[in-house]
Amino acid sequence: MAANLYKIRDGKDAAGNFFRAVQKQKNQYQGFWIATPDGKLLSSHQDHSEKKWTEEVLAAIDEALAKAGPLSPRNPEPRDVLPDWGKRVQRDGSVTLAVWTRYFFQGKGIGNGATDSVTWSAKEWKEFAPPEPVKGATWHLPAKMASQFSCCLSTVSDKSMMPRPDEVTEVDISGSVSRTKDGIATLSYTGRIAALHTHTFNKKYVYESRAKLRGIGTYDVDKQEMISLLWIFEGGSWLTHEKGDNPLAAVVEWQRDPRVEKAAGAK
């Protein structure tokens, strides 16, 4: 499994305890560990040469298999490992918005970019909907909530380079009702966000980034619930001591799927 180091190393749950127990057996900052279900370390790897990475990974796997001994083959059932990412309302009424970010050059996406998410409680999620679903109605997302979209200002999920919400220097996100028809309100969103981030481990690197937002959404007037949300952030990021910027874009997406929610027993 892939784990977020920033979360699991401090986690107070079983997953955090398991990770720290394995890490103590081979103290490396990141990389991968191969362990038995009861927490016995079989193999691990961190440092690598780019040209021989595949061979190094295979060697670490072979080492783990040799130590593990004979294993019975498994036939796992395919399943969605991110069932709430960008879709449906969870049992407690919360939602998780899917986030994609990527650099652009001459209008074309470059690099692999990054995927992320922002999760809102049932109470917070209501802030994305209009207080009054009538044409022309406007509202603003609370600044504290809007700052959570600082993740849209980086194409790297590593938080040593990603702006944190408390590093946001400017933010304003507003919504408006464009029209209502057949019980569905069409929503429009605009806004901007900017941040100033100092690299966690190298303080001489200070990143400035900013982006503008445009987006749409749909809202069920009778049920008083969001149906879909699609936002696009466009802007750039640069080192403050260098000229020029790196154009980037981010997509934030969520949609309600009644079929998925019914199967999962969600609200």
Token match 């590093």: residue? Answer: 167
Cα dihedral 114, 16, 168, 226 sign = positive
Number of other residues whose CB lies within 10 A of the CB of residue 89: 23
Note the Cα 72 to chain centre separation in Å: 35
Pairing of strands 32-35, 225-239: unpaired
Please name the amino acid found at residue 253: E
Render pLDDT for 154-185 as a digit per residue (tens, 0 to 9): 998 877 888 999 999 999 999 999 999 999 99
pLDDT at residue 262 tops 70: no
How far apart are the two ends of the chain, measured CA to CA in Å? 29
pLDDT confidence of residue 205: 86
Average pLDDT, the chain: 89
Number of other residues whose CB lies within 10 A of the CB of residue 146: 21
84 neighbors 256 (Cβ within 8 angstroms): no
Give the DSSP H or E segment for 250: strand 246-255
130 neighbors 141 (Cβ within 8 angstroms): no
**Between these two residues, 118 and 263, which has the higher pLDDT value?**
118
pLDDT confidence of residue 238: 87
Query: Is the pTM above the cut of 0.85?
Result: no
Residues 6+ away with beta carbon under 8 Å from 52: none
Report CA Rg, the chain.
22
Tell me the HSE value of 122 on the side-chain side, using a 13 A CA sphere. 8
Render pLDDT for 194-243 as a digit per residue (tens, 0 to 9): 999 998 878 888 989 999 999 999 999 999 999 999 999 999 988 887 76
pLDDT at residue 259 tops 60: no
**Tokens at residue 12, please?**
């107070």
Token match 């200002």: residue? Answer: 153
Token match 């809202």: residue? Answer: 219
Rounded CA gap, 181 and 185, in Å?
6
For 152, the 3-state DSSP assignment is helix
